[in-house]
Structure 1
Amino acid sequence: MTVNLKRLAGWALIVGTIVAAAGYLAANLLAPGHGDEVFRYRLWPLFEGIAVGGDVVVALGLPVVLAFAGRAPRLHVIGYCGVFAALLMLNIGEGVVEGFVKPYLAAHGGIPRDEPSGFAVFEGVALLCLAVGAICLGVALLRARMLPRWIGVALPASCLLGALGLPRPWFLLADDVFFAALFAIGVHAVRGRAEAPVPSAAEPAAV
């Protein structure tokens, strides 16, 4: 049985983005209160865990974006690496802290005001990877002209929305735009046909 990895990765992006977006929306729209109060919501770890699970599935399917490289393959690879690193560091790494560590601390004496040493550097590197990755990947997709132009515009636009510091719950708009672009890439990967095999020397191409 032949497995179409491109379609499989496309389905991973589709399912992962839906699950992750649903988890983030549920956690941030249903949790009462503001600030550290949300971590005391009893269903917060469940919803955040769903979101992190969706992020893991997205990470598994993200390599499919390399199938749409065109005129700027190096820029495409840089963009993919930046987005992948940010997905691991922010959505998955920091998501585990937000979903499980902080609720535990909130129920056992409160969350310390001072962040752990080096955490700000970690976040700074992750945000830099996200900005560079989203911009490079968006430009590469626009130059490749293999996908709708709005996808190439949406990736860097999501970073701009995140930088605006929108209030709750509007700050989720940045993630939703980002996930919408990845969802669309997954749809095109699933709908795309398998590449035609390259004829060998013993089988010359028909004229």
Structure 2
Amino acid sequence: MTVNFTRLAGWALIVGTLVAAFGYLAANLLAPGSGDEVFRYHLWPLFEGIAVGGDVIIALGLPVVLTFARRAPKLHVVGYAGVFAALVMLNIGEGVMEGFVKPYLVDHGGIPTEQPSGFAVFEGVALLCLVVGAICLGVAVLRDRTLPWWIGVALLVSCLLGALGLPGRWFLLPDDVFFAALFAIGVHAVRGRSEVATAGIVESAAV
């Protein structure tokens, strides 16, 4: 039996973005209070764990974005690498700490006010990867035109919204816009829209 890895990766993006978005929204909208108090919410680890699980699924399907590369393959590669690195470092790595370590600390001496040594650098590198990756991937989508233009715009807008530092629960909006763009890429991969792009790459290589 032949496995269509493009469609499989597309489904991973679809399922992963839905699961992750649900986890983040449930955790942050249902948790009472603000600040460190949210970590006392008894369902916080469950919802954050669901979100991290969704992020892992997204990471598995993310390589499908490369199948849409035609005119800007280098931008696609840089965009993929940056988004993948940020996904692993922030959503998964820091997400585990937010979901399981901080809820434990809040009831066992409290969460330290000072960050661990080097953690600021870790976050800075991850955020840089996210910005560079999202911008490069957004520009690549706009240049290649193998995907709807609004997907590229959504990727760029997610960076702009993130830079604005939206107040309250609105801070989730940049992630939701970004997940919506990845969800749409997954849908097009499942529908086989990447076949045209793949064929273009093969033809270019043959020439």
Q: TM-score per shorter chain, which class?
A: over 0.9
The structure with the largest helix share of the pair is 2
Code of the aligned partner of 2:30: L
Offset of residue 195 of structure 1 = 4.4
TM-score (norm 1): 0.93
Structure 1 SS opposite 2:109: coil
Q: Which runs of 5+ in 1 are unaligned?
A: 199-207
Q: Identity of aligned pairs, percent? A: 83
Matches within 5 A, 1:152-191: 152-191=152-191
User: Matches of 2:80 and 2:134 in 1, distance apart?
Assistant: 8
Q: Which residue of 1 aligns with 2:203?
A: none
Q: Which residue of 2 aligns with 1:119?
A: 119
Instruction: Encode CA deviations 1:160-206: one digit per residue, 9 max, x unaligned.
Output: 111111112111000000000000000000001684999xxxxxxxx
Q: Which residue of 2 aligns with 1:205?
A: none
Task: Look at both structures and tell me which one has the larger radius of gyration over its CA atoms.
Answer: 1
User: Matches of 1:81 and 1:93 in 2, distance apart?
Assistant: 16
Q: Which residue of 1 aligns with 2:130?
A: 130
Find runs of 4+ consecutive structure 1 residues off by over 4 angstroms.
Answer: 193-198
Q: Which residue of 1 aligns with 2:141?
A: 141
Code of the aligned partner of 2:29: L
- Number of matched residues? 198
Instruction: Encode CA deviations 1:58-113: one digit per residue, 9 max, x unaligned.
Output: 00000000000011111110011000000000000000010000000001010000
TM-score (norm 2): 0.93
Q: Which runs of 5+ in 2 are unaligned?
A: 200-207
Q: Is the 2:146–2:194 contact (alpha carbons within 8 Å) kept by the matching residues of 1? A: no
Offset of residue 155 of structure 1 = 0.7
Structure 2 SS opposite 1:14: helix
User: Matches of 2:50 and 2:90 in 1, distance apart?
Assistant: 15
RMSD over aligned CA atoms reads 1.5
Q: 1:194 to 1:22 in 2, by over 3 A?
A: closer
Instruction: Encode CA deviations 1:112-165: one digit per residue, 9 max, x unaligned.
Output: 000000000000000000000000010011111000001001112111111111
User: Matches of 2:17 and 2:68 in 1, distance apart?
Assistant: 19
Matches within 5 A, 1:27-42: 27-42=27-42
Q: Is the 2:72–2:144 contact (alpha carbons within 8 Å) kept by the matching residues of 1? A: yes
Q: Does 1:77 align with 2:77?
A: yes
Q: Is the 1:4–1:194 contact (alpha carbons within 8 Å) kept by the matching residues of 2? A: no
Q: Which residue of 2 aligns with 1:5?
A: 5
